[in-house]
């Protein structure tokens, strides 16, 4: 393993390198905005520049935030207060306060001056964070030259938080939103949250669960929402809410929520007017409809376009309706992976201009690996937005180290065969990420999960960035700039997601997790009420073979992709083996590209995943000199949990497959630690995130 070789090399070199001093008590709260004091040549160059911030001619809340960030960040990097006399000037030219907030900025440095230029204040804020990032990474002031604009219009976090403080699929504690004390008390954590988002260019937040409570549409909650909107406005963040489609009936006193009913349309228009009177820059509504039992327009024989357009008319040009394409129902007897395409693609061109259809990265549900969603490229007359999941519902919760930028770049770079890659398709709309923040002191439950928040923001700003480049940035800003540290930790991060795929769902398997909580392996579950709730539905394993046939001989889901894409997945002998069992049902003795039988390859992949986690632990043990004691121990503890659970996933899965196929384990593959009955008997009533 690469990380093993790097770990060995690092151990050999430890006696010969000069290590930077590390703090002994960081708790992760400062995220990637620590701004630790520079050392060596980088410190000499910044001290020689001796920055002095010039007072800009245009002021306002956003510009003041940028100035405060620059002063705090530069002082921390220098290890002293900023000078007030002569020195290198940092000049902000922030344009018109009411200009369209595109976010574009330019930062240019010379030996005498650094200029941050933007068309409007939020661009200056983004430019200030970018300047501090460059300096934190050791760039010399006179070598900084940035000219950036966001690739996507909307860069949004979706919070699955509930009014009572619980978080659906939340693994980092309670909700960060204190609805009980709002609006009178706006916790300082809300400002720190906004600051972290602004540092990445994130410009929208949906504050509540897509399984929405109608409370957020009642007059009592409007002042609470307005208080948050006021707090976040200087940081360029607009507030959105998830709207329950049946609200006119639930809290509006009507006996219907039919989107074509005039009274219903009038109710939503009045509700939108009420919200915009309190929050003039309210972003709009996110809606989950007719999925997993949620109400929607199909309850009244209407289409998704009917429902979305009714809300679009209510908000008008003031905001946006984001309509989720995550739909599936027990009545769909063909293939859950096909349903969203079949419901939405025929509606292409029927959605209002201010409607965005939000599509998950893959056609099932945030699995460790899925092919890109076939809707991307199939609706050229509809704005489509990519939905990713930062909270690791299916990737070991916050307990497992799984850096997700490689997953997202796989999707963003995927050629659709219909108008470019996925990044091209979604550029006019944007990206949404299901947030992984919570009340834990380090925000995300584990320190390395912060990297997924960071990576999402960076890719939403610029999908051309590389996953390893983002990993290097985050690790340097969050832990240590030392090259020896980065040489070891970046490959570890880059291998982590594939490790999870290997020990959980290798070769295109999917949805093998436990019922309800989605914790741990449960491929044996076959008796739940709805077919698509059962892992057996997805793996189709029996004595003869395994995998879901989505070719023309099966459900023909493959035909939903462009022919140029589908042809690459049509032949199980030549296709990318990572998707083999997603698209094909093959015998256990099928010969894969490695030369092994499928059964041998499955065992090898499970073993590879467990071994990679062992290598990650070995690498991390060498990095204690670079990391403060508190965070070093926290990561070490999580890696120990991951090692145990990776082994559990491997053992329980192989035990079940072996029970079905009756085959001996391949040579060199160790027997599971327990019997299949013992694995099946395990229960986890305390699992978080229900």
pLDDT of residue 670: 97
Q: Is the pLDDT of residue 3 over 70?
A: no
**Mean local confidence (pLDDT), 366-376:** 98
25 within some domain: no
Q: Report how far residue 292's alpha carbon sits from residue 289's, in angstroms, rounded to the nearest whole number.
A: 9
Boundary-marking domain end, from 97, 127, 148: 148
pLDDT of residue 6: 37
Selected catalytic residue, list 255, 292, 542, 637: 292
Sequence-ordered strand ranges (E) for 270-315: 284-287
3 state SS of 62: helix
Question: Do 467 and 451 meet the contact criterion of CB atoms below 8 Å apart?
Answer: no
Task: Looking at the structure, tell me whether residues 474 and 512 fall in a common domain.
Answer: no
Q: What is the mean pLDDT of the chain?
A: 94
Q: Which domain holds residue 51?
A: 30-148
Task: Looking at the structure, tell me whether residues 112 and 158 fall in a common domain.
Answer: no
Backbone angles phi, psi at 282, to 5 degrees: -55, 130
Sequence-ordered strand ranges (E) for 383-477: 383-389, 430-434
Selected catalytic residue, list 69, 119, 387, 393: 393
Task: Looking at the structure, tell me whether residues 602 and 470 fall in a common domain.
Answer: no
Least Cα distance to 411 among 449, 451, 377, 450 occurs for 377
Task: Looking at the structure, tell me whether residues 178 and 135 fall in a common domain.
Answer: no
Cα of 5 vs its chain's centroid, Å: 30
**Mean local confidence (pLDDT), 649-656:** 98
Q: Is the pLDDT of residue 12 over 50?
A: no
Q: Report how far residue 34's alpha carbon sits from residue 526's, in angstroms, rounded to the nearest whole number.
A: 49
Exposure pattern of 671-683 as b/e (b: 16+ CB <10 Å)?
A: ebeeebeebbeee
Q: What is the CATH number of the domain that holds 508?
A: 3.90.1330.10
**Full DSSP string of 221-272:** THHHHHHHHHHHGGGT-EEEEE--TTHHHHTS--S---TT-HHHHHHHHHHH
Q: Is the pLDDT of residue 64 over 70?
A: yes
pLDDT of residue 1: 44
22 within some domain: no
C-beta neighbour count of 573 within 10 angstroms: 12
pLDDT of residue 101: 81
Interior angle at CA 556, CA 551 and CA 560, nearest 5: 110
Lowest mean pLDDT among 62-66, 94-98, 303-307, 609-613: 94-98
Task: Looking at the structure, tell me whether residues 341 and 365 fall in a common domain.
Answer: yes
Per-residue DSSP letter, 437: -
pLDDT of residue 25: 61
Interior angle at CA 341, CA 584 and CA 334, nearest 5: 50
3 state SS of 158: strand
**Mean local confidence (pLDDT), 333-344:** 92
Boundary-marking domain end, from 148, 181, 216: 148
List, for residues 534-563, the tens digit of each pLDDT value: 999 999 999 999 999 999 999 999 999 999
134 within some domain: yes
Cα of 91 vs its chain's centroid, Å: 34
**Mean local confidence (pLDDT), 251-272:** 98
List, for residues 438-492, the tens digit of each pLDDT value: 999 999 999 999 999 999 999 999 999 999 999 999 999 999 999 999 999 999 9
Task: Looking at the structure, tell me whether residues 114 and 80 fall in a common domain.
Answer: yes
C-beta neighbour count of 211 within 10 angstroms: 15
Which residues 6+ apart lie within 8 Å of 253 measured at CB? none
Task: Looking at the structure, tell me whether residues 81 and 188 fall in a common domain.
Answer: no
pLDDT of residue 251: 97
**Mean local confidence (pLDDT), 418-427:** 97
Residue with tokens 């979305």: 308
List, for residues 129-176, the tens digit of each pLDDT value: 999 999 999 999 999 999 999 999 999 999 999 999 999 999 999 999
Q: Are strands 105-109 and 383-389 parallel, antiparallel or unpaired?
A: unpaired
Number of compact structural domains in the chain: 3
Q: How confident is the model at residue 689 (pLDDT cuts 50, 70, 90)?
A: confident
Cα of 686 vs its chain's centroid, Å: 25
Q: How confident is the model at residue 65 (pLDDT cuts 50, 70, 90)?
A: very high
Known catalytic residue at 644: no
Task: Looking at the structure, tell me whether residues 168 and 143 fall in a common domain.
Answer: no
Encoding tokens for residue 230? 């006021």
17 within some domain: no
Q: Helix %, strand %, coil % for the chain, to 5?
A: 45, 10, 45
Task: Looking at the structure, tell me whether residues 126 and 158 fall in a common domain.
Answer: no
Known catalytic residue at 120: no
Task: Looking at the structure, tell me whether residues 293 and 267 fall in a common domain.
Answer: yes
Question: Do 462 and 48 meet the contact criterion of CB atoms below 8 Å apart?
Answer: no
Selected catalytic residue, list 343, 365, 410, 549: 365
Task: Looking at the structure, tell me whether residues 438 and 293 fall in a common domain.
Answer: yes
pLDDT of residue 320: 98
Boundary-marking domain end, from 103, 126, 148: 148
Strands of 51-53's sheet in order across: 51-53, 88-93, 113-118, 105-109, 145-148
Which residues 6+ apart lie within 8 Å of 68 measured at CB? none
Q: Report how far residue 652's alpha carbon sits from residue 486's, in angstroms, rounded to the nearest whole number.
A: 35
Q: Report how far residue 73's alpha carbon sits from residue 401's, in angstroms, rounded to the nearest whole number.
A: 29
Angle between helices 121-136 and 61-78 (to 10 degrees): 10
Q: Is 173 left (phi over 0), alpha (psi -120 to 50) or beta?
A: left
| Cα distance between the two ends of the chain | 36
Q: What is the CATH number of the domain that holds 129?
A: 3.30.379.10
List, for residues 575-611, the tens digit of each pLDDT value: 999 999 999 999 999 999 999 999 999 999 999 999 9
Q: Report how far residue 632's alpha carbon sits from residue 28's, in angstroms, rounded to the nearest whole number.
A: 11
pLDDT of residue 86: 84
Residue with tokens 């959980």: 504
% of the chain exceeding 70 in pLDDT: 96
What's the pTM value of the predicted model, to 2 decimals?
0.95
Task: Looking at the structure, tell me whether residues 386 and 249 fall in a common domain.
Answer: yes
Q: Report how far residue 450's alpha carbon sits from residue 406's, in angstroms, rounded to the nearest whole number.
A: 15
Residue with tokens 């990572």: 578
Q: How confident is the model at residue 249 (pLDDT cuts 50, 70, 90)?
A: very high
Known catalytic residue at 39: no
């Amino acid at each position: 393993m690469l990380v093993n070789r790097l770990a060995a090399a690092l151990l050999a070199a430890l006696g010969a390198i000069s290590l930077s001093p590390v703090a002994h008590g960081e708790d992760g709260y400062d995220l990637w905005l620590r701004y630790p004091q520079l050392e060596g040549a980088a410190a000499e160059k910044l001290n020689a520049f001796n920055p002095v911030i010039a007072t800009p001619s245009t002021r306002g809340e956003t510009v003041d935030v940028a100035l405060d960030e620059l002063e705090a960040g530069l002082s921390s990097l220098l290890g002293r207060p900023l000078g007030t006399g002569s020195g290198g000037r940092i000049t902000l030219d922030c344009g018109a306060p009411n200009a369209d907030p595109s976010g574009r900025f330019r930062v240019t440095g010379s030996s005498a001056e650094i200029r941050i230029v933007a068309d409007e204040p939020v661009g200056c804020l983004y430019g200030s964070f970018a300047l501090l990032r460059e300096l934190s990474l050791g760039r010399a002031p006179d070598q900084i030259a940035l000219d950036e604009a966001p690739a996507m219009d909307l860069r949004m976090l979706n919070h699955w938080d509930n009014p009572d403080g619980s978080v659906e699929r939340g693994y980092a504690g309670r909700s960060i939103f204190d609805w009980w004390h709002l609006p009178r008390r706006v916790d300082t954590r809300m400002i720190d949250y906004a600051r972290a988002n602004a540092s990445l260019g994130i410009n929208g937040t949906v504050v509540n669960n897509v399984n929405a409570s109608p409370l957020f549409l009642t007059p009592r909650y409007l002042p609470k929402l307005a208080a948050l909107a006021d707090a976040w406005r200087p940081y360029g963040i607009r507030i959105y809410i998830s709207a329950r489609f049946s609200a006119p009936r639930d809290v509006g006193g009507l006996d219907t929520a039919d989107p074509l009913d005039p009274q219903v349309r009038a109710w939503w228009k009045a509700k939108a007017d009420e919200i915009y009177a309190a929050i003039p820059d309210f972003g709009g509504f996110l809606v989950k409809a007719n999925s997993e039992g949620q109400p929607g327009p199909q309850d009244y024989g209407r289409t998704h376009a009917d429902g979305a357009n009714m809300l679009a008319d209510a908000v008008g040009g003031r905001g946006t309706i984001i309509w989720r394409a995550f739909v599936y129902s027990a009545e769909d007897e063909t293939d859950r992976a096909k349903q969203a395409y079949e419901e939405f693609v025929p509606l292409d061109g029927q959605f209002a201009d201010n409607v965005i259809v939000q599509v998950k990265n893959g056609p099932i549900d945030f699995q460790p690996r899925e092919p890109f969603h076939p809707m991307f490229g199939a609706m050229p007359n509809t704005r489509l937005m990519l939905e990713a999941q930062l909270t690791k519902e299916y990737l070991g919760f916050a307990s497992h180290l799984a850096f997700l930028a490689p997953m997202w770049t796989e999707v963003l770079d995927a050629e659709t065969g219909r108008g470019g890659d996925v990044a091209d398709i979604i550029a006019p709309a944007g990206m949404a990420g299901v947030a992984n923040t919570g009340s834990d002191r380090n925000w995300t439950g584990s320190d390395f999960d912060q990297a997924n928040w960071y990576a999402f923001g960076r890719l939403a700003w610029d999908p051309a960035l590389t996953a390893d480049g983002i990993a290097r940035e985050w690790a340097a800003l969050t832990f240590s700039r030392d090259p020896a540290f980065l040489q070891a930790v970046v490959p570890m991060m880059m291998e982590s997601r594939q490790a999870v795929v290997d020990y959980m769902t290798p070769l295109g398997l999917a949805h093998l997790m436990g019922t309800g909580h989605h914790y741990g392996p449960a491929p044996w579950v076959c008796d739940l009420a709805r077919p698509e709730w059962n892992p057996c539905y997805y793996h189709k394993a029996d004595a003869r073979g395994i995998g879901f046939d989505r070719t023309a001989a099966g459900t023909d889901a493959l035909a939903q992709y462009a022919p140029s894409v589908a042809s690459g997945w049509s032949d199980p002998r030549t296709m990318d083996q990572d998707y083999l069992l997603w698209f094909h049902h093959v015998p256990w003795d099928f010969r894969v590209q490695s030369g092994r039988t499928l059964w041998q390859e499955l065992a090898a992949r499970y073993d590879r995943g467990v071994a990679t986690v062992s290598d990650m632990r070995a690498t991390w043990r060498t990095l204690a000199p670079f990391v403060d004691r508190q965070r070093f121990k926290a990561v070490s503890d999580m890696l120990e949990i991951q090692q145990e659970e990776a082994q559990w996933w491997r053992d329980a899965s192989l035990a079940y497959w072996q029970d079905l196929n009756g085959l001996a384990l391949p040579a060199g593959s160790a027997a599971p630690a327990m019997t299949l009955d013992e694995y099946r008997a395990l229960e986890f009533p305390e699992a978080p995130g229900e």
